[in-house]
Amino acid sequence: MKVPREVGKHTRDKVYAENDPYMPPKGKSLVGVAICKDCTAVYHNKKWFLDGKMYEEKKALKDVHWVICPACKKTKENVPGGVVTLKGDFLQEHKQEIMNLIHNEDARSKKYNPLKRIMKINEKGGEIEILTTEGRLAQRLGSILFKAYSGEVEYKKHENTKFMRVEWRR
């Protein structure tokens, strides 16, 4: 039986949203109301929202900018900000339960910030790979898995980038 451990947790505070080429540069943010053609996220008051009611309301406006939001752009171009890899026998035995936890966190995250979401989930050879639009969400998923199921988690932040690789196994 392995002792539960969280390796590299100290790097967790060092992930910044700066220097993200998918975000508009400072002072050049979108003006007015914009809506993402792909996911219907609404940009309003300098923030993105994923809200059906707001979408219906804003799309009726005359001067809406129809755009592709940074999260959908990253998804299209397959440029994740974080990757979480799940491994181990425990994972296989509790896959449904674990994936429910992951999907719930994705829903919660998107509601709070539509640009912070899961892009894609790949399964290969007993491993599950979760691609996220932001490194911080990958970190959060690792931390949630560790809290819920213990096991081993490792966070690897790449020097000078905000890309985060997380590996959880049990």
Residues that bind Zn ion (CB under 5 A): 36, 38-39, 41, 69, 72
Which tokens is 75 given? 């998804």
Q: Which is nearer to Zn ion, 34 or 130 (CB)?
A: 34
> Cβ 149 to Zn ion, closest distance in Å?
31
> Cβ 82 to Zn ion, closest distance in Å?
18
- Looking at 10-169, which runs of residues are DSSP E strands? 34-36, 42-44, 47-49, 65-67, 82-87, 118-124, 127-132, 152-157, 164-169
Q: Which is nearer to Zn ion, 75 or 143 (CB)?
A: 75
Measured distance between the N- and C-terminal CA atoms of the chain, rounded to whole angstroms: 10
Q: Which is nearer to Zn ion, 36 or 131 (CB)?
A: 36
Residue 145 three-state SS: helix
> Cβ 53 to Zn ion, closest distance in Å?
17
> Cβ 46 to Zn ion, closest distance in Å?
16
Could you tell me the strand order of the sheet in which 47-49 lies?
A: 47-49, 42-44, 34-36, 65-67
Q: Which is nearer to Zn ion, 72 or 98 (CB)?
A: 72
